[in-house]
Amino acid sequence: MDVCESAVIKEGDSQHCRMDVLWTYLTTLKHPDGSTVFNKLPKVALLVLTLPHSNAEEERVFSMVSKNKTKFRGSLQMDGSLSSILTLKCADIEPCHQFDPPRNVLETAKRATMVIQLIGNNLTSSLY
């Protein structure tokens, strides 16, 4: 049976070729000296198959950046707050209002806040 005939798939009145059968056949063709006729074909096929069919995911990220970095929040840097915001949004984790931090995190945050308040009070009192 011919390769082209074996690659044809008939569905009702229409028919199409199985490209995997044709590509496999082309990669097995050899010159009389034993070298392959299309020696770069498998590499090209793999490169073509690795190309994304869409860039929708990247567009979503750019959209998130533009929604978060507005003219009112223009100082957000990619290596700081903006990166953290995007990481949280892309991670697809639970909404922030449902987040229940562990008790030790709350205690550490509370102590850090108290230290900052004490430093601020000391600075304010030294000014007067």
pTM of structure: 0.34
37 near 29, Cβ under 8 Å?
Answer: yes
Q: How many CB atoms lie within 10 A of CB 87?
A: 10
Q: Which amino acid is at 75?
A: S
Burial of residue 111, with CB atoms counted within 10 A of its CB: 0-12 exposed, 13-18 middle, 19 or more buried: exposed
pLDDT, tens digit, for every residue of 10-55?
Answer: 888 888 888 778 888 888 889 999 988 888 887 887 788 787 778 8
